[in-house]
Amino acid sequence: MTAMQSAHAIDEETLNLYRLTLRYDTLDSELVAREADIPQDRAADALARLHAARLIQPVGVGGHFRPTSPEWAEAELLTPVLAEMYAKQRFIEETRKTLQGLGTVYREARGNGPLGEDFTFLPPGDAVKAACYRLIQECTMEFAATHLSSTAVGDVLPDETEMARRGISVRTLVQHSVLAKLTVQSYVNKLTGAGGEVRALPQLWFRLAIFDRRTVLVSAGPGDEAAGAVLVRNPMVVARVHEVFEHLWGTATSDMDGESGRGELASSQLRAAVAQMLATGCTDEVSARRLGMSLRTYRRHVANMMTELGARTRFQAGLLARDAGLLPAV
């Protein structure tokens, strides 16, 4: 236990023994044990705690101590801590001043375009999580987001429901491929119960979040967080991203009443989305990523559809799906 911890951990017995020490100029564990009527080992432990808290100090040798004032103990304990704090504060101020002074050098070397300060790359991990937390706390009116997987949905649920309960307009888009999952059905129930809205689309290409139409946080690559994210503050770009979201929102499915209805919707819309991927000729890897499912799961759906349509190749399956009216209406 450190000296600071000892000062915070003075119990009633130790406090009473401190009162006892104040009656003597010097004392040891034997005297304390006799006067307090406690075992000598407990008296020694109490003296050790008082010494760690700087409320007594040793006198010569032989385990003798004399009491000190709380003011003296405070100075003994806090002086080195305050000195360290002041040193760190000076380091922070000097470092900030030095780095801020380099801003001009950076802009001269990288260009002074109007967009230069409006984009910030955030490496994956804590930087993205910290930015999300700060933006969520600062959000006051509107939040809009896309989620690519059931894992992503589970990660954000507490924050989104909290925003909805604060009276913020919360709208999120998910993919049809995850609607049948229990975690997503629970997400829809809880968020809509808090006042938010959820709609579904066959495909979503990347994860993004829009805060108060002023800031956008968008994944830096396909997937959720593996590639990090880009923080966008430029008003023109944010406005265009918001327009894209509004277009997707207008074309998304909103009639998801009841968990069974969501499961049926997910099944029918998923078949249409797989058929569309086959018709466009995308690779299995790209198609699986766009539909928010694993490569193995996507290939299983393709195999089932090819069997259903009697197709021998993926290209033929795409043509037959179009002829059968399986592709989503444009």
**pTM of this prediction?**
0.49
The confidence score (pLDDT) of residue 2 equals: 55
Are 46 and 17 spatial neighbours (Cβ–Cβ below 8 Å)? yes
Residues of the chain with pLDDT under 50: 111-115, 151-154, 257-266, 330
Are 208 and 216 spatial neighbours (Cβ–Cβ below 8 Å)? yes
Beta bridge partners of 122: 229
The confidence score (pLDDT) of residue 178 equals: 74
List the domain boundaries for the chain. 3-68, 73-110, 119-251, 259-323
Residue from 209, 214, 218, 220 nearest 234 by CA: 214
Are 281 and 289 spatial neighbours (Cβ–Cβ below 8 Å)? no
CATH topology classification for 3-68? Arc Repressor Mutant, subunit A (1.10.10)
CATH topology classification for 259-323? Arc Repressor Mutant, subunit A (1.10.10)
Residue from 137, 140, 156 nearest 148 by CA: 156
Matching fold, domains 119-251 and 259-323: no
Give the chain's length. Answer: 330
The confidence score (pLDDT) of residue 277 equals: 78
The confidence score (pLDDT) of residue 27 equals: 84
Q: Which tokens belong to 44? A: 């020694």
The confidence score (pLDDT) of residue 115 equals: 41
Spelled out in words, what is the top-level CATH class assigned to the domain 119-251? Answer: alpha beta
214, burial (CB in 10 Å: exposed 0-12, middle 13-18, buried 19+): middle
Q: Scanning the structure block, which residue is given the tokens 């829809």?
A: 188
Q: CA-CA distance, 60 to 58, in Å (whole number)?
A: 6
The confidence score (pLDDT) of residue 255 equals: 56
